[in-house]
A and B are shown apart, each in its own frame.
Chain A
Amino acid sequence: MSYIHFPVIAVMTLFMGAFLTVVLGRHSKGVRSFIALAASCVSFALIAMLVKPVMIDGEIISYWMGNWAPMSGYAIGIGYEVDQLGLFFALLVVTTILLSAVYSIRYIEKDSSQDFYYVLFLMLSGSVLGLVMTGDVFNMFIMIEIMTFTAVGLTAFRNTSFGAVEAGFKYLVIGSIGSSFTLFGIAVLYGQCHTLNMAQLSAMLYGNHSPATLMAFALMFTGLAVKSYIVPFHTPAADAYTTAPSSISMVFSGMVNKAGVYGMIRLVYIIFRTVDMPSVQTLIVLFGTVTMFIGVTMALAQHDFKRLLAFHSISQIGYVITAAGLCTSLGLSAGLFHAMNHTLFKGLLFLCAGAVLRSTGTTNLDQLGGLSKRMPKTTLCFLVGAFSISGLPPFNGFASKWLVYQAAYEKAVTTGNIFYAFVTVTAVVVSVMTLASFIKVTQAAFFGQLPARLADVEEAPGLMLLPMYIMSLLCVGTGIFYDKVYQYLLDPAVRAAFTVSNYIDRMMGDGYAEAAGVEDVFASNPHFSYWNPVIWLALFVIVFCAAYICVVTSKGSRGQILSDEGGAEDGKYATFFSGEKALPSHVAGSDLFWGFKTDWKGYFRVMEGLHSGIVNDYALYVVAAAAFVVVFTFAFLR
Chain B
Amino acid sequence: MNFSLIGALQILFKILIFPGLLFVVVIGLFLAGIDRKLVARMQKRVGPPLRQPWFDFLKLLGKETIVPHAANKAVYLAAPVIGFTGLVVMALFIPVFGYSTFSGNGDLIVLLYLLTIPAVALIIGGSASGSPYAGIGISREMVTMMSYELPLIIILLSVARKVGGSALCFSLGQIVNWQASNGCLAFHPALIPAMLAMLLVIPAEVGTQPFDVAEAETEICEGPLIEYSGAPLAVFKLNTAMKMFIMTALFTNLFFGGVSTASLIGAGIPAIALDAVIMVLICIVVTFLSMSLIHAITARFKIEHLFKFYWTVVAGLAALSLVLVWFGL
Is the CB–CB distance between B15 and A436 below 8 Å?
A: no
Q: Which chain B residue shows the least CB distance to A371?
A: B72
State the Cβ distance, B23 to closest chain A Cβ, in Å: 14
A544-B82, A561-B65 known; A448-B127 Cβ under 8 A: yes
Chain B residues whose C-beta falls within 8 Å of the C-beta of A269 in the assembled complex: none
Is the CB–CB distance between A418 and B81 below 8 Å?
A: no
Task: Choose the segment among A340-348, A358-366, A420-428, A452-460 that binds chain B (4+ C-beta atoms closer than 8 Å).
Answer: A420-428
**Complexed CA–CA distance, A370 and B164 (Å):** 48
Is the CB–CB distance between A406 and B113 below 8 Å?
A: no
8 A Cβ contacts from B36-81 to A: 61-70, 72-73, 75, 77, 80-81
A448-B70, A595-B304 known; A410-B168 Cβ under 8 A: yes
State the Cβ distance, B275 to closest chain A Cβ, in Å: 23
- Known contacts A562-B67, A595-B307; 14 additional CB pairs below 8 A are A370-B130, A398-B113, A414-B168, A418-B326, A421-B161, A421-B326, A428-B112, A432-B145, A439-B123, A448-B135, A530-B170, A558-B230, A573-B68, A595-B302
With most chain B CB atoms within 10 A of its CB, the pick from A406, A554, A565, A591 is A554
Is the CB–CB distance between B15 and A586 below 8 Å?
A: no
Total residues of chain A contacting the partner, CB 8 A: 78
Chain B residues whose C-beta falls within 8 Å of the C-beta of A542 in the assembled complex: 15
Is B250's beta carbon under 8 Å from chain A? no
A406-B109, A428-B153, A539-B92 known; A544-B69 Cβ under 8 A: no
Is the CB–CB distance between A435 and B68 below 8 Å?
A: no
Is A534's beta carbon under 8 Å from chain B? no
Is the CB–CB distance between A575 and B161 below 8 Å?
A: no
Main secondary structure of the interface of B (DSSP, over half): helix
Which of B89, B139, B235 lies in contact with A594, CB distance below 8 A?
Answer: B139
**Complexed CA–CA distance, A595 and B144 (Å):** 9
Is the CB–CB distance between B150 and A429 below 8 Å?
A: yes
Q: Which chain A residue shows the least CB distance to B153?
A: A428
**Complexed CA–CA distance, A577 and B70 (Å):** 13
State the Cβ distance, A163 to closest chain B Cβ, in Å: 29
Total residues of chain B contacting the partner, CB 8 A: 84
Which of A413, A436, A443 lies in contact with B167, CB distance below 8 A?
Answer: A413
Is B131's beta carbon under 8 Å from chain A? yes
Chain A residues whose C-beta falls within 8 Å of the C-beta of B85 in the assembled complex: 540, 543-544, 547
Q: What would 6 A/B residue contacts be, using CB atoms closer than 8 Å?
A: A413-B166, A436-B146, A446-B72, A554-B61, A558-B64, A575-B227
Which of B16, B124, B231 lies in contact with A555, CB distance below 8 A?
Answer: B231
Is B17's beta carbon under 8 Å from chain A? no
Is the CB–CB distance between B170 and A536 below 8 Å?
A: no
Using a CB–CB distance below 8 Å, which chain A residues touch chain B?
370, 372-373, 376, 379, 383, 387, 390-393, 398, 402, 405-406, 409-410, 413-414, 416, 418, 421, 424-425, 428-429, 432-433, 435-436, 439, 442-443, 446-450, 530-531, 535-536, 539-540, 542-544, 546-548, 550-551, 554-555, 557-558, 561-568, 573, 575-576, 585-587, 591-596, 598-599
A392-B117, A418-B323 known; A429-B157 Cβ under 8 A: no
Chain A residues whose C-beta falls within 8 Å of the C-beta of B323 in the assembled complex: 418
Chain B residues whose C-beta falls within 8 Å of the C-beta of A548 in the assembled complex: 81
State the Cβ distance, B221 to closest chain A Cβ, in Å: 10
8 A Cβ contacts from B128-187 to A: 128, 130-133, 135-136, 138-140, 142-143, 145-146, 149-150, 153-154, 157, 160-161, 164-168, 170-171
Chain B residues whose C-beta falls within 8 Å of the C-beta of A576 in the assembled complex: 68, 131-133
Chain B residues whose C-beta falls within 8 Å of the C-beta of A406 in the assembled complex: 109, 168, 170
8 A Cβ contacts from B201-240 to A: 226-227, 230-232, 234-235
Is the CB–CB distance between A425 and B153 below 8 Å?
A: yes
Chain A residues whose C-beta falls within 8 Å of the C-beta of B188 in the assembled complex: none
**Complexed CA–CA distance, A406 and B251 (Å):** 22
Is the CB–CB distance between A409 and B157 below 8 Å?
A: yes
Chain B residues whose C-beta falls within 8 Å of the C-beta of A372 in the assembled complex: 72, 75, 128
State the Cβ distance, B9 to closest chain A Cβ, in Å: 14
Is B296's beta carbon under 8 Å from chain A? no
* 7 closest cross-chain pairs (CB), A and B: A587-B135, A595-B303, A595-B304, A447-B127, A592-B139, A585-B132, A530-B107
**Complexed CA–CA distance, A565 and B68 (Å):** 7
| Interchain Cβ contacts within 8 Å, total number | 230
A439-B127, A447-B72, A531-B105 known; A432-B138 Cβ under 8 A: no
Is B317's beta carbon under 8 Å from chain A? no
**Complexed CA–CA distance, A587 and B127 (Å):** 10
Q: Which chain A residue shows the least CB distance to B65?
A: A561
Is the CB–CB distance between A543 and B143 below 8 Å?
A: no
Chain A residues whose C-beta falls within 8 Å of the C-beta of B241 in the assembled complex: none
A413-B168, A543-B89, A591-B135 known; A442-B84 Cβ under 8 A: no
State the Cβ distance, A416 to closest chain B Cβ, in Å: 7
Chain B 287-319 near chain A by CB (<8 Å), digits 1 or 0:
000000000000000111011100100000000
Is the CB–CB distance between A429 and B149 below 8 Å?
A: yes
A436-B146, A447-B127, A573-B69 known; A531-B89 Cβ under 8 A: no
Is the CB–CB distance between B231 and A391 below 8 Å?
A: no
State the Cβ distance, A410 to closest chain B Cβ, in Å: 4
Is the CB–CB distance between A540 and B89 below 8 Å?
A: yes
Q: Which chain A residue shows the least CB distance to B230?
A: A555
Chain A residues whose C-beta falls within 8 Å of the C-beta of B116 in the assembled complex: 392, 432, 435
Is the CB–CB distance between A402 and B232 below 8 Å?
A: no
Chain B residues whose C-beta falls within 8 Å of the C-beta of A554 in the assembled complex: 61-62, 230-231, 234
**Complexed CA–CA distance, A561 and B74 (Å):** 12
Chain B residues whose C-beta falls within 8 Å of the C-beta of A429 in the assembled complex: 146, 149-150, 153
Chain A residues whose C-beta falls within 8 Å of the C-beta of B282 in the assembled complex: none
Chain B residues whose C-beta falls within 8 Å of the C-beta of A599 in the assembled complex: 304, 307-308, 311
Is the CB–CB distance between B157 and A424 below 8 Å?
A: yes
Q: Which chain B residue shows the least CB distance to A529?
A: B104
Is the CB–CB distance between A551 and B139 below 8 Å?
A: no
State the Cβ distance, A188 to closest chain B Cβ, in Å: 40
Chain B 94-138 near chain A by CB (<8 Å), digits 1 or 0:
000000001001010110111011001001100110111101101
A591-B139, A595-B304 known; A449-B110 Cβ under 8 A: no
A421-B322, A548-B81 known; A450-B70 Cβ under 8 A: yes
State the Cβ distance, B64 to closest chain A Cβ, in Å: 5
**Complexed CA–CA distance, A418 and B328 (Å):** 12
**Complexed CA–CA distance, A562 and B232 (Å):** 13
With most chain B CB atoms within 10 A of its CB, the pick from A398, A428, A447, A564 is A447
Is the CB–CB distance between A531 and B166 below 8 Å?
A: no
**Complexed CA–CA distance, A309 and B146 (Å):** 20
Chain A residues whose C-beta falls within 8 Å of the C-beta of B112 in the assembled complex: 428
**Complexed CA–CA distance, A398 and B302 (Å):** 32
Chain B residues whose C-beta falls within 8 Å of the C-beta of A433 in the assembled complex: 146
**Complexed CA–CA distance, A592 and B67 (Å):** 24
A425-B154, A591-B135 known; A557-B62 Cβ under 8 A: yes
Chain B residues whose C-beta falls within 8 Å of the C-beta of A416 in the assembled complex: 166, 326
**Complexed CA–CA distance, A405 and B133 (Å):** 36
Chain A residues whose C-beta falls within 8 Å of the C-beta of B161 in the assembled complex: 413, 421
A542-B15, A543-B15, A544-B81 known; A586-B132 Cβ under 8 A: yes
Which of B15, B70, B139, B227 lies in contact with A539, CB distance below 8 A?
Answer: B15
State the Cβ distance, A635 to closest chain B Cβ, in Å: 26
A409-B160, A428-B112, A542-B15 known; A563-B139 Cβ under 8 A: no
Chain A residues whose C-beta falls within 8 Å of the C-beta of B72 in the assembled complex: 372-373, 376, 379, 446-447
Is the CB–CB distance between B127 and A443 below 8 Å?
A: yes
Chain B residues whose C-beta falls within 8 Å of the C-beta of A446 in the assembled complex: 72
Is B190's beta carbon under 8 Å from chain A? no
State the Cβ distance, A281 to closest chain B Cβ, in Å: 17
Which of A447, A557, A595 lies in contact with B306, CB distance below 8 A?
Answer: A595
Is B21's beta carbon under 8 Å from chain A? yes
Is the CB–CB distance between B303 and A558 below 8 Å?
A: no
State the Cβ distance, B313 to closest chain A Cβ, in Å: 14
Is B197's beta carbon under 8 Å from chain A? no
Is the CB–CB distance between B127 and A393 below 8 Å?
A: no
Q: Which chain B residue shows the least CB distance to A575?
A: B68
Is the CB–CB distance between A546 and B21 below 8 Å?
A: yes
